[in-house]
Chain A
Amino acid sequence: MLILKKFARDLPAFAGLVIVVAIIVVALIGPWIAPYPGDAAGSHLLQRLKPPSAAFPFGTDNLGRDLLSRVILGARGALEVAIIVVVLAAGIGVPLGLVAGYRSGFVSETIMRVTDVFLALPQLILALALAQLMTPSLESAMVALALTYWPFFTRLVYAETRRLQSSLFVDALRGVGAGDTRILLLHILPNAASPIIVRATLGMGFTILVAAVLGFLGMGATPPDPDWGLTIAESRNYLPGAWWYSIFPGLAILATVLGFNLLGDGLRDLVDPRLRRSR
């Protein structure tokens, strides 16, 4: 419980936690708290591009839809994308890292060189290229993001496994007759869990950002989805007059990414005292 106290004293991390929890809650109950839940799809052309007012706190878009409702409804999609992408990427990256780290040799070298190739290219560019190869949809955007994010997990788990497999307790386990699978899954993986969790948390924020970029470029979500990136893309034609049209979805992205990053950084500080800032 000491660790919780320590975490609560870390203000930025705590703020991150609050933001993340708030967004998760909004994503879960979005359809019930949005003032106009029907605005995910419908249109009301008579009220188009209204500035923020009491009836529409965030204003309305080019089809007269309430932006507050669309920002709220967009949270679920953003989180879904982030979770699916991170789970997929970890599902690919973690086992590969374990295998590559535990044994050296041809298989390990192959895995790590492929990882290096992926890491050598900027993730965004690679994801754009992959998404472009498939039909533009949210699914292909997620696949593209997962296929470009797994190397980060592989690298991390590889380094952890390398460190742990030469540690004495693994030696001791082998000495009392533990097989390789047992050592890897039951002993090394739990030891590597905390950096994996940190990386996954940071990855959530990053994925939301990149997914928004893909949506913005027309390679992710398709209209009329209340996707944040897509909404910003649609708003470009109405700038600078309808400033609210791009500002509010933008702020939503900013807050979410910031929240996940603060939380991730805070978790990393907790997990790895060597990096802990003195304060």
Chain B
Amino acid sequence: MNAPILEVRDLKLSIRTDEGIARILDHVDFALEPGHILGIVGESGCGKSTVIRAILGILPQGARVEAGEVRFGDTNLLTLREPELNRHIRGSRIGFVPQDPYLALNPVFKVGAQLLEIMRWHAPDGGRNAHRGRLVELLRRVQLPDPAAALDRYPHQFSGGQRQRLLIAAALACSPALVIADEPTTALDVTTQQQILELLRDLVREFGLSMLFVTHDLGVVSELCDDICVIYAGQSVESGPTAKVLRAPMHPYTRALLACHPDRSASFVGIPGAVPSPLRPPPGCRFAPRCGQARPICGQRPPHATRIRDGQCVDCLLYDMPESVEA
């Protein structure tokens, strides 16, 4: 196993709200190996996007990282200050593909101006024409039709898929080592989604990137991602190689989630109960109140990561007992 390019360790984050302190993230752990695509999966509201924002340091006001580390290479991003992040990390070494391509470009400027602006502020010494040439090349690579003319058009003149290609090109513009994609395909229709996924997979291989891919769609993960990390209510519950986790899920939540997937179950199954409010999270395992296999101790003591085998890792007290590991 190589040294991970990005490692999030025991991340705890809370947001001050009018109703009190919301504990959005509570021990999130995962590691992304170089050249891999790691999928972060979870229901809406589980804190997937917040994890990304914590990594990039673009948290909303009132949010505070209480504990944990975000190691990118050998720096802890959480200790860097805003100007350093802007100059050396965001956009230059970590590319970011935002969620909804319809809203992620400034509507009043031509796309060329917007993309060139990013390149210019990260590499001010490259000439204007050099940047332009490189950008056209990049747009051709992301299969945007007529890339040279595209620079002089406004965002609303592109379709959703085309805009997502533009945003991918923007993320790659400054040759980052890591790309973070926040549900890049959710707002697109299925066929476009397929093309974008293929494009992303090819780009990762071709540019030697690593990618953090956030989604709620297990189908997308199984197709695209080498590794997976499942998050429930701000806690990472299970992680490991995608094939292993999806074939043999260990955590009761992962099992329940897979059972909900319409491809896999003949009848529609849900998970009883509702996601707990981050204002008053249950004291132990956050899934315990909805878990069929919960024992009294699950409601009292938070689980910790238990390594199972072949990189699969699960946060559940069921596997804490020596006798249940074989089960």
Binding site for B on A (CB under 8 A): 103-105, 167-169, 171-179, 182, 186-187, 190-191, 193
CB-CB under 8 A for A175 and B106, given A103-B61, A104-B61: no
Chain A residues, CB < 8 A from B232: none
CB-based contact A172/B108 at 8 Å: no
Instruction: Tell which of B104, B105, B170 has the most Cβ of chain A within 10 Å.
Output: B104
A171 to chain B, nearest CB (A): 6
Q: When the two chains form their complex, are residues A169 and B103 in contact, meaning their CB atoms are under 8 A apart?
A: yes
* CB–CB A177/B104 < 8 A: no
- When distances are taken between beta carbons in the complex, the residues of chain A under 8 Å from B106 are 169, 173, 187, 190-191
The tally of CB-CB contacts under 8 A between chains A and B is 69
Bound Cα distance from A169 to B170, whole angstroms = 12
Q: Say which one of B28-36, B94-102, B188-196, B249-257 lies at the interface with A.
A: B94-102
A-B contact pairs, 6 of them (CB 8 A): A104-B61, A169-B103, A172-B96, A175-B56, A176-B91, A177-B90
A168 and B170 form a contact (CB under 8 A): no
Instruction: Give Cα distance in the complex from A171 to B96, angstroms.
Output: 10
Check: B107 CB closer than 8 A to any chain A CB: yes
Q: Which of A103, A171, A172, A193 has the most CB of B within 10 A?
A: A172
A193 to B90, CA, bound (A): 28
Whether A167 and B103, one on each chain, are in contact in the complex, defined by CB atoms closer than 8 angstroms, is yes
In this assembly, does B25 line the interface, its C-beta being within 8 Å of a C-beta of chain A? Answer: no
Within 8 A of A (CB), among B91-132: 91-92, 95-96, 98-100, 103-109, 117-118, 121-122
Spell out B's residues near A (CB within 8 Å): 56, 58, 61, 82-83, 85-87, 89-92, 95-96, 98-100, 103-109, 117-118, 121-122, 167, 170-171, 180
Whole-angstrom distance between the alpha carbons of A191 and B155 in the complex? 14
Report B123 CB to chain A, min CB distance, Å: 12
Q: Which of B86, B108, B122, B171 contacts A191 (CB 8 A)?
A: B108
Please determine whether A177 and B91 come into contact, CB atoms closer than 8 angstroms. yes
CB-CB under 8 A from A167, the residues of chain B are 103
Q: How far apart are the CA atoms of A105 and B83 in the complex, in Å?
A: 21
Interface SS, A side: helix
Contact A172 B104 (CB under 8 A): yes
Residues of A within 8 A of B121 (CB): 177-178, 182
Extra contacts, 17 of them, besides A177-B92, A187-B106 (Cβ < 8 A), are A169-B103, A169-B107, A172-B98, A174-B90, A175-B96, A176-B91, A176-B118, A177-B87, A177-B91, A177-B118, A177-B121, A178-B118, A179-B82, A179-B86, A190-B109, A191-B106, A193-B108
Which residue of the partner chain, among A104, A176, A187, contacts B95 with CB atoms under 8 Å?
Answer: A176
Complex A-B, nearest 8 residue pairs according to Cβ-Cβ distance, in ascending order: A176-B91, A175-B96, A177-B90, A177-B91, A168-B103, A172-B98, A174-B58, A172-B104
**CB–CB B107/A171 < 8 A:** no
Contact A175 B98 (CB under 8 A): yes
B86 touches A178 (CB 8 A): yes
* Chain B residues with CB under 8 A of A193: 108
Chain B residue nearest in CB terms to A187: B106
Closest A residue, CB atoms, query B102: A168
Contacting A168 at CB < 8 Å: which of B86, B90, B99, B108?
B99
CA A104 to CA B86, docked complex, whole Å? 21
Which B residues are CB-close (under 8 A) to A191? 106-108
Rounded to whole Å, the gap between the CB of A169 and the closest CB of chain B is 5
Given contacts A176-B95, A177-B89, A177-B92, contact A171 B58 (CB under 8 A): yes
